[in-house]
Structure 1
Amino acid sequence: MHYPIAIEVSDEHHAYSVAVPDLPGCFSTGDTFDEAIDNAREAIEGHLESLADHGDPIPSASAIEQHLANPDYVGWVWAAVEIDMTPYLGKSHKVNVTLPDLLIKRIDRAVARHGKFKSRSGFLARAALHELERYAG
């Protein structure tokens, strides 16, 4: 999921400020633009972890376009931070799935090529979450 972030550009006396409009109360800063984005990712992950720990719902990310006209962020720069949502979805449950052999081989090749997937099940969970986000809005 990509959470939009608003970044207030710094000057010689202030750090970059970051707000995450879809996560009220989630803010961060950074001395450089890159650091601001890295710190925003950490802030988002910490915020989501806290919500999950308390059993609170995890807000979906909105499209950046929904925030562009917000007067609170006039003059700010927009970016998006990709967050792997699987750690915040709750306890894992084992399910049995039957898939065609060629599909399993393609999944295994994708897992081997891309370090962001730790396993076949992680790949499938991420693909399922992507599809849910696409259809659920």
Structure 2
Amino acid sequence: MRYYVGVIHKNEGSEYGISFPDFPGCVSAGASVEELKAGAEEALAGHLRILMEDGEEIPQPSTVEEIMGNPDFADGMPVLIPVAEVVDKTVRVNITLKQSDLSVIDRNAAMLGVSRSAYIARSTAGFPPRNVTSVSDAAGSFRSSKAGRKAS
């Protein structure tokens, strides 16, 4: 388990807010400390997931002393937020595709606002179905699902 320092801020008349100095732009808020904690864990995990999908480097956590020594965070309250260890390392690969397939991938990725790599990774997350053990099984499963839709 890794812990990143979050800095809690609370202005009069506002919700609790938390920011993560190691990840500028990663923030969360909540009406209560319990809500804030849950939102902070979710925001941090989501931010790390996006960085991994985009092939970005995940920094080592800064220390509380380093962060609280920064005047931008000196008025906040530091808290350690846990995240599961990052075990799925992103690797760079070269692939060969038809130009038309690459155009479709790039268009869909742009529509979703993600990188080409992130789009390909997300597209494969649920394929093949769990009961498929070979490419021919996958093709048969796909054909069966299309036939079932036509019959309905």
Letter in 2 for 1:6: V
What residue ranges of structure 1 are gaps of 5+ in the alignment?
A: 92-137
What SS is found at the alignment partner of 2:72?
helix
Judged with a 3 Å threshold, the aligned counterparts in structure 2 of structure 1 residues 28 and 43 are, in CA distance, closer, same or farther, namely: same
* TM-superposition CA deviations, 1:21-67 (whole Å, max 9, x none): 01121111111112112111100000000001111111111111111
Structure with the greater alpha carbon radius of gyration: 2
Match of 1:15 in 2: 15
- TM-score (norm: length of structure 2): 0.54
Match of 1:129 in 2: none
Judged with a 3 Å threshold, the aligned counterparts in structure 2 of structure 1 residues 6 and 23 are, in CA distance, closer, same or farther, namely: same
Match of 1:35 in 2: 35
Q: How does 1:120-131 map to 2 (within 5 A)?
A: none
CA distance in 2, matches of 1:88, 1:60: 16
Match of 2:6 in 1: 5
Match of 2:46 in 1: 46
Q: How does 1:1-137 map to 2 (within 5 A)?
A: 1-11=2-12, 13-90=13-90
CA drift at 1:88: 4.9
1:9·1:77 contact (CA, 8 Å) conserved in 2?
no
CA distance in 2, matches of 1:76, 1:59: 22
What SS is found at the alignment partner of 2:51?
helix
Letter in 1 for 2:8: I
What residue ranges of structure 2 are gaps of 5+ in the alignment?
A: 92-152
Q: Identity percentage over the alignment?
A: 29
